[in-house]
Each structure stands twice: as C-alpha cells, then as structure tokens.
Chains A and B, each alone.
Chain A
Amino acid sequence: MSSAIPQRSAVVLMWRRLRRRPVVAGAAMVLVALVVLAAAAPYVAPYDPFILIPGGTLHPPSRQFLFGTDELGRDIASRVVYGTRISLQIGFVTVGISLLFGTIFGLLAGYYGGRIEGAIMALMDVLLAFPQILLALAILAMLGPSLTNAMIAVGISGVPVYARTARGVTLALRSMDYLDAARAQGAADLRILLRHVLPNMIPPIIVLATAGMGISLLVAAGLSYLGLGAQPPAPEWGAMLSEARAYLRNAWWMATFPGLAIMVVVLSLNLCGDWLRDFLDPRLRT
C-alpha cells in the first residue's frame, strides 16, 4: 500500500500529472460540468422537460430545438439536461450501496476470518456466480419495477466486487506490526478497523468506485430501457432511448442524443478511473 501522502501535496501532484494528460483533464471537466448542469438544470434547459410544445412534435434539430423534439413535442435538449439529475442520482445511490455494504462485509471478513469470513465470502461467491445484469434483473423481479428498485438492484449486484477488494486489503494488513501495536495499546476492534484499516482501503475503493459508477450507470440505464427502471415521462436517458425505438424511421435525433449523453458520461468515468488507478497504484500500471 502506498504510504500516506500529506493531503495537500497529493492534490498538487494530481494536478501536475493531470496537466500532462489533457484528455483525462477534459474527462474530469465533463464530470464537473455534469454536476453543474444537474444543479442548474432549470436555468440551462431552454424548455420545461415535460411541457408539450404545440405543433412541435418530431422537430429535427434546429436553432430553436437544439436536439430536436420527441413524438409528444417535448424538447429533447431540455430532457437530456434534466436527465443529468437522474443519472447523478443513479450513480451515487448505486455506488453508495455497493460501496457501503461491500466495504463492511470485506472488513468484517478480512479482519475476523474464520466462520464470519466463510459465511460472508460464501454469500459473495453465490452473488458472483450470477452475471451482474442477471443478478440485477433477479433482484428487480423481487422488488418490482421502478427507478428506486432498479437503483437498489444495481447497487446490491455490485456489492461482491467491493467486498472482495476490501477483504483483500484487510487480509494484507491483518498481520502488520502497527495493527498489533494498536491492539497492544488496547484499541477496540471498531477503532482499529476504522482508524487503521479503512484509510488504507480508500485508494483501491476510489478506483473501483469510479469505474464501477460507469458500469452501474450502464446497467441502470439498460434496465430503464427495458421498461423496468425509470418510467415515462421521467427524462431518464435509457427510458428516452426506449421511446425513441418506435420512431427510428422518422426521428434519428430521438435515438441519438440521450445515448450520446450516456456514452460521454461513462467514457469520462472510465478515463478518470483508469487514470486514478495508475496514479494511486503505480504497480498496476500496464
């Protein structure tokens, strides 16, 4: 594990390295822009995302409607802008669930070992025996289709990956002298886990979470595309593409821009994830 770098110099170092990788810097800016767009959606979007513009159905992209309008006469650009809110929510909720439970399970399994580890890892192995989309579908089948349930399903389906990583880090640390020292001083297990083990887990978990958010967004948008996640008229990008399918012949723009938005966000997450992995753990560099 990399020794703890003082906080400020890490940021400076990151910034220096980023300047040499303009593509990654651009990707990071896209992610910042995504947050800004989500926050400022009412000011940025030219129209209300739900309002039906009279006489404005299936307009091709023009100066008035940048990305065109859909079959009901709603402005697609405005819907894509408002969609950033849903995507951001999906990204944070799904990764939050995977990360929280994954880290807890991994810490407990790695630290206590024995039966606790056996039980937790057996459960994780069963979950891993299902491909992620199938696992998400199975959980969604139990909970019933809705955006909230889709987020829960995608979040749970990501837990085993985080659990494995967290366990790996904990196992590597378990026999370290400084943990023995902490124990000898009479530190409680919880304190050791939180103060001495958890901080070491942050770099690999950040790397996982960045790339994992891209995957979660893809799976969640896919569930919405199938009609199992976000329901119309929500301006969710996957659901918008699903509506676009019936109008492929006459409205290419309906099928183009929401997908482009998904791809740009996921691509930015992947670029940043790859870069972070190289930055935080040079040994993994390929």
Chain B
Amino acid sequence: MQAYLARRFVLLVPTVFGVTLAAFLMLHLTPGDPVAIMLGEFASKTDVTRLRRDLGLDQPLVMQYVRFVERAARGDLGTSIRSRRAVTAEISDRFPSTIGLTLAAMLLAISVGVPIGVIAATTKHVAVDSAAMAFALLGLSMPTFWSGLLLILFFSLKLGWLPITESEGIRALILPAVALAAPAAAVLARITRSSVLEVLRQEYIRTARSKGLVERLVIYRHAVRNALIPVLTIVGLQFGGLLAGAVIVESVFARPGLGRLAVSAILARDFPMVQGVVLVVAVMYVFVNLSVDLMYGFLDPRIRYQ
C-alpha cells in the first residue's frame, strides 16, 4: 500500500506542474497585450508600465513562472485589477458557498443516481429499466440553467415553497443543488447500471447463486459492492464537472460564489482574478481525483499491486 501511495504522489508532480503552467501561461497566450486589454484603450503610458512591472511582465518568462508558483504556494495569487483586493481573499470569501453547493449536489447525485442504476440493472421488469434509463437520458440532456429556471418557476413562484432571492442557509441550497445534481445523477445511474450488469455476468456470481445464496444477498453482498468500485472513479470525475457547473447554476440562482466571481472577472478582463479561480478549481479537481484513486486502491487490491 505504501509503494502505491508513493507512486500516486509521484504521478501528481507532472500534473500539478502542467496545471500551474497552464494557468500561468493564460496571461501570455492571450492574443494582444493583456496589460493594454486590462487597462482599456485610454490608459496612460505610466499606468501601463506600472501594471507591467507589478505583474512582473518585464522579467524573463522562466523567472515569472518560478515567481508565480512560489507565490501561489504561499497563498499569494496577486491582486485583482478591478477590486484592488488580494485574489486569495476574494476567492476565500466566495469559496464556502461554491463548495457547499458542489458537495450538496454530489451527495444528491450519488444518493439518487446509484440506487436508480442498481434498480435498473437488477429489476425483472423491462418497463422499470426503460423508465429509469429514460429518466437518466432526460437528466443528461437538460441544461442546468434551464432546469434551474423551471425549478424557480414551479417551486418558488407557483408553489411558494422555497426562496429565490436568499443565498444563505439550507433552504436556499435545495433548488440549486437539484439543478446541478441532475446531470451527474444521470451519469451515475447509467454507469452504475452497466457496472452492475457487468459484475452479474462474472463467475463468482454464478458460484454465489449455485451455493444457494438468496438473490438479495447475491446482489447486495457480491454484485453491488464490486460494481461500485468503477462508479467511484466517475464520482471523482463528476466532482470537477459539478464544481465547474456551479459557475452556471450560481448565476441562475444569484448565489455569490466562485463562478460568479469568475464570470465577472472574465467580463472585466481581470486576468489575475481569472487565473486565481482557474488555478484553485483545477488544483482541487486534481486532488479530488487523487483521493478517489487512493480510495480505489484501498478498495480494490488488484489495482494496488499492478
């Protein structure tokens, strides 16, 4: 297990290097002069020179990258051009709201998607299976910003059950979490179904059945538990999708999260802010996938000893 852990952490190095490099290069790959774009066309020459110096753009590229990583590691992601506040401070203000929404949606997606997949795979009724998969296909095809609007229309405006304007508390979290979770739940239902079907074809299932084990135990003790291992990987991948998808859902429900911060920064061409959000979300995504991989190795010894 320790060798496996060590190997996984070594594999992390190039990924983190790549992600930080990509976030760093964003500024340099921008067509035109980013400083001129940020300051607008009426900026004075001294302002342009000063911002260029503040951003370290007068240094050699390699030096700039080293400085970028060094500062980022210390939690310094620069200063927002628009608000003049530290990017890290702005991000940590908005972070709890986004992470709360993402986790709520993740929990919801798992607790709805996985059971639907198991039921679809194990039911004897074709109609139940078809209905479950039709439901999943629908969830996969609905844009979250549309289902969000429909949820507000129905539950907030028509029935008056849930608030639309509040952004704090559990009640305000329900509708956005549902909208955000729908596509993830759909993906999980489909993966779970095919994974369970795959496991049910294995010989150890036949063994379990032929030794006279009741079907319910065959399914829950032998089939589902093994089938959930690949589902776990998808959960990790979905997490990134949800975190990024929160950008759109936050905008529908007017929640002050990272997504809205990123969108307004993009519109204002506030590069340090955009870089900061991109870097934070991407690094988080990398670490979530790492922890899923570690869990995977823990749950499935075959992976560990490869």
Residues of A within 8 A of B (CB): 122, 125-127, 129-134, 137-138, 140-145, 214, 218, 221-222, 225-228, 238, 241-242, 244-245, 248-249, 252, 255-256, 258-260, 262-263, 266-267, 270-271, 274, 286
Contacts and interface: CB of A to CB of B under 8 A. Distances in A.
18 contacts: A129-B19, A131-B241, A134-B240, A134-B278, A134-B281, A141-B266, A221-B143, A222-B143, A222-B145, A222-B248, A226-B247, A228-B266, A256-B153, A258-B146, A259-B146, A259-B147, A263-B141, A266-B142
B262 interface: yes
A58 to B, nearest CB: 15
Interface string B251-292: 110000000001101110101001000100110011000000
B18 interface: yes
Contacts of A263: 138, 141-143, 146
Given A131-B240, A244-B149, A259-B150, A226 B274 contact: no
Contact of A266 (B15, B141, B243, B248): B141
A137 B278 contact: yes
Nearest to A218: B143
Given A134-B244, A222-B144, A225-B145, A248 B271 contact: no
Contacts of B271: 141
B245 interface: yes
Given A259-B145, A266-B141, 12 more contacts: A126-B15, A126-B22, A131-B281, A134-B285, A137-B262, A137-B278, A143-B31, A222-B143, A227-B267, A255-B153, A259-B142, A267-B137
B150 A256 contact: yes
B26 interface: yes
Contacts of A244: 149
Contacts of B1: none
A152 to B, nearest CB: 11
A130 B141 contact: no
B143 A138 contact: no
Interface string B118-157: 0000000000000000000110111111110110110001
A225 B26 CA distance: 23
* Closest CB pairs A-B (n = 9): A259-B146, A126-B18, A131-B240, A286-B194, A131-B244, A133-B244, A267-B141, A134-B244, A266-B141
B302 to A, nearest CB: 22
Nearest to B271: A141
A144 B244 CA distance: 19
A226 B248 contact: yes
Contact of B18 (A125, A245, A259): A125
B170 interface: no
A143 to B, nearest CB: 7
Contacts of A255: 146, 149-150, 153
Interface string B56-86: 0000000000000000000000000000000
Interface in B25-78: 26, 29-31, 37
A215 to B, nearest CB: 9
B14 interface: yes
A130 B19 contact: yes
